[in-house]
Structure 1
Amino acid sequence: MKCCIIGLGVFGRNLAVNLAQLGAEVLAIDRREDNVSLIKDEVGAAIIMDFADTSPLARLAIDEMDAVVVAIGDDFESSMAMTVKAQELGAKRIVCRVLSPMHARLLRLMKVDRLVIPEEVAARGLAHSLLMRGVVDGFDMGSGHAIIEADVPGKLLGRNLSQTADIFKKHDVRLVTIKRRNDRPIGTFFKGGDIEVNRRTLGVINLGDTFTEGDIFVLFGAEKGLRDFLDENSAD
């Protein structure tokens, strides 16, 4: 998959790096040399471009990209100009970071494929983590449903999916997968002796897989069901 990321602020830079780590061919573009320098060794190619002049995009085979993400977060005119130019050049799919309600309205009129408000997504995830016991991350799926990552509830430790199926069913919660500590964690040590622990995703959970200390559940369900499931099965 080929992706072009235009705008390398915090959102664009992290998106570009994550795409590259997942195996995508990434072309990263920004008007600031320091932003390009930060990412040049992490992606396939990183170039400096003045956002006031969209003509250089025509030399970058935009029509061959599977997705073009306009991630400019501080310049309405540049964001619009780059979006229009990407459309003119035949981009297959365009994703835009939204800067304001008016920006969103114009992008919808242009029939841009997807609109993203990073701050809103982050805020929703934080809301889930604050309101639900043990939640470390979350994603709002709409219509009152969410996908969350939560510490394994204490009452379920040492048990497996076969033994706890009725508990999940009671709250209409689905266990999507489990993130588990590596047997021999490798991480970066910080002052104070803390360690950033690596985790691996187990994939599809077998009925006999035992839930262990340190597991992170990836759960899907209605927000109320998720909250009740975590509250009722907490060890305290």
Structure 2
Amino acid sequence: MKVAIAGAGAVGRSIARELLRNAHEVMLIERKPEHVEPDAIPGATWVHADACELSSLESTGLEQCDVVIAATGDDKANLVLSLLATTEFGVPRVVARVNDPRNEWLFDESWGVDVAVSTPRMLAALVEEAVTVGDLVRLMTLRKGANLVEVTLPDTTALAGKPVRKLELPRDVALVTILRGGRVIVPQPDDPLEGGDELLFVAAEEVEDELRRAVNR
């Protein structure tokens, strides 16, 4: 997979290293010439270009990329790049970094964003996930209005001992994983649920309230 990352700061470089370790082809796009350091990540292709200027991006071959990651420290730049990547270069998937949580509402399909990643929100969600039992915690927003959400079943749950197939889920919801102690369980219809289980769902935003009621009945 070919991935372009705009912004060669600490975040962009960390993402690049991880992708390279997983055998992906990585191009780093950086506006400031003093930050273009090919020796820092020799496995990546480094390009000096302004990710907000169409003429500058045209020289990068962005249309050949499978994924674009807008990882700069400027939300405006990340939005502009996301829109250009989608509308001008036809990139199939765009992931954008949200620096200021107050701007998160902008990072949607109207700006060409498939997945928005807000570090403050993710950290807050992880804290909630660690201490919240019985309530729905949104971990990440996925493309097209679907979210990755988590529920930890209380020890006294009425679902204890019942098979997964008895969990009456609303439409547009999928149970993808059960975390139980140190185990990761791919749920099967006859697998029994237990108090303390962490259930991870992919759910459409509009049915989250129904899902909350389903796991707390």
Same fold (TM > 0.5): yes
Residues in 1 aligned to 2:142 and 2:46: alpha-carbon distance in whole angstroms: 35
The percentage of aligned residue pairs carrying the same residue is 23
Deviation of 1:46 (Å): 5.5
Letter in 2 for 1:227: R
Aligned length: 200
Corresponding residue to 1:226 among 201, 208, 211: 211
Equivalences for residues 107-186 of structure 1 within 5 A:
108=110, 113-114=112-113, 117-119=116-118, 122=121, 126=125, 133=134, 135=136, 137-139=138-140, 146-155=147-156, 159-161=161-163, 165-166=165-166, 168-169=167-168, 172=170, 174-182=174-182
Unaligned runs of 5+ in 2: none
TM-score, L = length of structure 2:
0.56
SS of the residue aligned with 1:114? coil
Whether contact under 8 Å (2:17, 2:41) holds in the other structure is no
Deviation of 1:27 (Å): 2.2
Structure 1 segments, 4+ long, off by >6 Å, are: 32-37, 52-56, 85-88, 98-101, 141-145
Letter in 1 for 2:121: A
Unaligned runs of 5+ in 1: 183-198
* Change beyond 3 A, Cα 1:116–1:174: closer
Residues in 1 aligned to 2:86 and 2:52: alpha-carbon distance in whole angstroms: 13
Deviation of 1:224 (Å): 2.0
Residues in 2 aligned to 1:139 and 1:45: alpha-carbon distance in whole angstroms: 28
The match for 2:29 is 29
SS of the residue aligned with 1:154? coil
* Change beyond 3 A, Cα 1:13–1:74: same
RMSD: 5.3
TM-score, L = length of structure 1:
0.52
Deviation of 1:210 (Å): 3.9
Deviation of 1:19 (Å): 4.9
Deviation of 1:68 (Å): 2.6
Greater C-alpha radius of gyration:
1
Higher mean C-alpha deviation, range 214-223 or range 114-123: 114-123
The structure showing larger relative contact order (alpha-carbon pairs under 8 Å, at least 6 residues apart) is 1
